[in-house]
Structure 1
Amino acid sequence: MVDAHRTFVIIGGGLAGAKAAETLRAEGFTGRVILIGDERDHPYERPPLSKGYLTGADERDGVFVHQPAWYAGADIELHLGQPAVRLDRADKAVLLGDGTRIHYDRLLLATGSEPRRLDIPGTGLAGVHHLRRLAHADRLRGVLGALGQENGHLVIAGAGWIGLEVAAAARTYGAEVTVIEPEPTPLHPVVGPELGTLFADLHREHGVRFHFGARLTEIAGEDGMVQCVRTDDGEEHPAHDVLAAIGAKPRTALAEAAGLELAEGPGGIAVDASLRTSDPDVFAAGDAAAQLHPRYDRRLRVEHWANALNGGPAAARAMLGREVSYDRVPYFFSDQYDVGLEYSGYAPPGSYDQVVCRGDVGKREFIAFWLRDNRVLAGLNVNVWDVTGAIQDLISSGVAVDPHALADPGVSLESLAG
């Protein structure tokens, strides 16, 4: 039986919001729980959109966090397909697009992020795509299948994780793929030049063409359809469809209009270690939150599945008044062709002084470590499994390690963590 004396509202129908709702009930909260999502679909996970669901290996039903009946069973009130348009902090109320006004005692903003848009001529043509929502993936699956059947060309702007995963999916369908990237290697801001070439080689082996050191300047077409793209170095590439995969930006408009503090640098809604915003009754989690991270003593905004999976429950516990210090090591995973990988930690360019590998890089069965002063900042395991815990322990411990021992597969990672 729901006790209506307290109402917790969650804005955001993704993984963070759904897991927060689940956690509130699991932790014994008996008040009203209201989840608001601007998509009509029930809350779902986003990794399959560029992986198994996009390739056709997984069914659509597999993307959902819970089955629809679970929400009624857990007394979670859903407002789907209905955007929150205003947050009234003085009256502690959320206004929906249809005029509905919902009171809250505590509020969680799990509004996520949205794709960055190409600011060039031609983006209004049919055949220009983004991949962030389930509806995008539904459409893109059909596009990739048609391109494969017709030997069509897909141009991808951006060689980040989404760009590379879609490139792999497109080649699985048989489409021709060209990736245009301003950096000198794929994934340059994440894995640096040391490992970026490995991913370029992987995709070239599967027929992907790269054009590095260039940006799109125009998408040209005829009769409303894409025909080619042009880059700032004067090149032209044939294209039937274009995917903009140039990153995402946090959805902060609601928070900003309500006067909540935003974070400089990473962007996003500024939150403390307990995921509380500048308003003590408002919390934020997932892509939209820029957390003052206890482990790194700086604000981080992490746009990955694990942060939504773990951050939503952490915020829920904080909403309930529990002591929370959300200090998880950042983590994400990717699948491309026959290569699976997991990345743990935080090592942006300029933060490390060496990269150490153990295993066989040539066979793409190895672990790479980013170090500073012999301390592990991040680790990437490629086709090597059941080591994520040990890698994260090394990162968390902060102990200095012998790089030669770190590179030796005969030395257990557990022994190095101390």
Structure 2
Amino acid sequence: MTAARTVTVVGASLAGLHAARGLRSQGYDGRLVVVGEEHHRPYDRPPLSKEFLTGDGDPGGGLGPLALTDPEEEAELDAEWLLGVRAEALDTTAGEIRLTGGRPLRTDGVVIATGATPRTLPLPPLDGVHTLRTLDDALRLRAELRAGAERAVVIGAGFIGAEVASSCAALGLDVTVVEAAPLPLVPQLGKQMAQVCAGLHARGGAALLCGTGVAGLRGTGRVTGVELTDGRVLPADVVVVGVGVRPVTGWLEGSGLALDDGVRCDEGCVTALPNVVAVGDVARLAQPGTGRTVRAEHWTSGMLQGDVAARNLLAGSTVAPFDALPYFWSDQYGARIQYAGRRESGDTVRILEGDPADGGGFLAVYERDGISTAALGVDRPRPFMRLRRELARAPQPAGR
């Protein structure tokens, strides 16, 4: 790959941008093309469900504080930006990407960074019903929240749903969060800590309804209510569906790449073809020694994978694994939740600081066989970051 004349990054995302930066910083001086389906340069997504909804700043024709690049860096990257263009197919035999309208793009190397798209529910297409993934999604939702909406129903109590609900509550709306599971975030945090974090909804003035699904919507032209499977009807001026995402891989069907809820890669983001790597939400990486694969939908993973993938792409083989400790955070109802590590079912929880029962901040560690496996902090940023660094240095239990 060192003699590659053209490398194409498909996805003008955080992960795609960091892969492009990695390519240049490691000496690649050939043609670099960045293909993005949106019309925007790379921007920061986490604020979209939080301060962007509640704040007054409007990027207008630009991206404002959301921008991840500036003109000086873009000049240094020396990339061709093909924005508002969708990749429709990858022909690995011919070394071509087919773009919108059938336009071919010849390339020697490919970075797949197409991310994910919101999952949807079989609901009628009514005005006032939103998903939130892109800047344009956030602009539409923010406009409605500020146009006199009084009641919001958020479907899904994962991190995006909880953050949107928090923002709606901060804007003074009457907010109800509907979660089909008996308790939200159990796979990520375990039952004990998920129960604690679920209490943030009540603390922030939102109602959380668990163990019930959505049967349908009320309204003609515009949504007026949400019908639940238990027979209740929740009045609503705005509905936000936050039931997870699915990786964008449809354009890769027939490419010969292994697709399994993402693009299957080895531990270094490399696919079965050494000149094709994947990063970010779309990448499903092998975990050596476990027989498992994992797809991480976290900002930090997307950022850090880019440099590793670029190194391996240029080397033509996997010379560096991606072994960063998983980390994510969420801001809800004035509280910051931080998590790092690899918790598994059966791990025990020990509180190091604070008391979750009093509704304040705390620091907890997950343990197995006497070894710390993960950490959870609520409003404990400094001690949490110290514990995160310790976890990154510590050995993990066998088979993890």
Assess same fold via TM > 0.5.
Answer: yes
The percentage of aligned residue pairs carrying the same residue is: 36
* Structure 2 counterpart of 1:259: 256
In 1: Cα distance, 2:56 partner to 2:99 partner: 37
* Structure 2 counterpart of 1:30: 29
In 2: Cα distance, 1:382 partner to 1:297 partner: 33
- What stretches of structure 1 of length at least 5 have no aligned partner? 401-418
Q: Deviations over 1:40-76 (max 9, x none)?
A: 0111121111122222166641112102553244211
Q: CA contact under 8 A between 2:4 and 2:108: conserved in structure 1?
A: no
In 2: Cα distance, 1:399 partner to 1:284 partner: 26
* Structure 2 counterpart of 1:226: 223
Give matches, 1:7-406, under 5 Å: 7-56=6-55, 60=59, 61-68=64-71, 70-120=73-123, 122=124, 124-146=125-147, 149-150=148-149, 152-222=150-220, 224-263=221-260, 267-294=261-288, 298-321=292-315, 323-348=319-344, 351-360=345-354, 361=356, 362-386=358-382, 387-394=384-391, 396-398=393-395
**Aligned pair in 2 of structure 1 residues 363, 218: CA closer, same or farther (>3 Å)?**
closer
Q: CA contact under 8 A between 1:17 and 1:110: conserved in structure 2?
A: yes
**Aligned pair in 2 of structure 1 residues 388, 57: CA closer, same or farther (>3 Å)?**
farther
- State the TM-score, normalizing by the size of structure 1: 0.88
Shift of 1:381: 1.4
* Structure 2 counterpart of 1:415: none
1:177 match: secondary structure: strand
Shift of 1:297: 5.3
Q: Deviations over 1:250-269 (max 9, x none)?
A: 11112233121123xxx211
Q: How many residues align?
A: 387
Task: Report which structure shows greater RCO (CA 8 Å, sep ≥6).
Answer: 2
Q: CA contact under 8 A between 2:203 and 2:333: conserved in structure 1?
A: no
1:23 match: secondary structure: helix
2:259 match: secondary structure: coil
**Aligned pair in 2 of structure 1 residues 144, 4: CA closer, same or farther (>3 Å)?**
farther
**Aligned pair in 2 of structure 1 residues 254, 399: CA closer, same or farther (>3 Å)?**
closer
2:42 match: secondary structure: coil
Q: Deviations over 1:110-136 (max 9, x none)?
A: 11001000124x2x0111100011100
RMSD: 2.0
In 2: Cα distance, 1:166 partner to 1:158 partner: 10
- What stretches of structure 2 of length at least 5 have no aligned partner? none
In 2: Cα distance, 1:298 partner to 1:92 partner: 30
Q: CA contact under 8 A between 2:132 and 2:138: conserved in structure 1?
A: yes
Shift of 1:245: 0.4
Q: CA contact under 8 A between 2:97 and 2:104: conserved in structure 1?
A: yes
Shift of 1:145: 2.0
Name the aligned partner's letter for residue 215 of structure 1: G
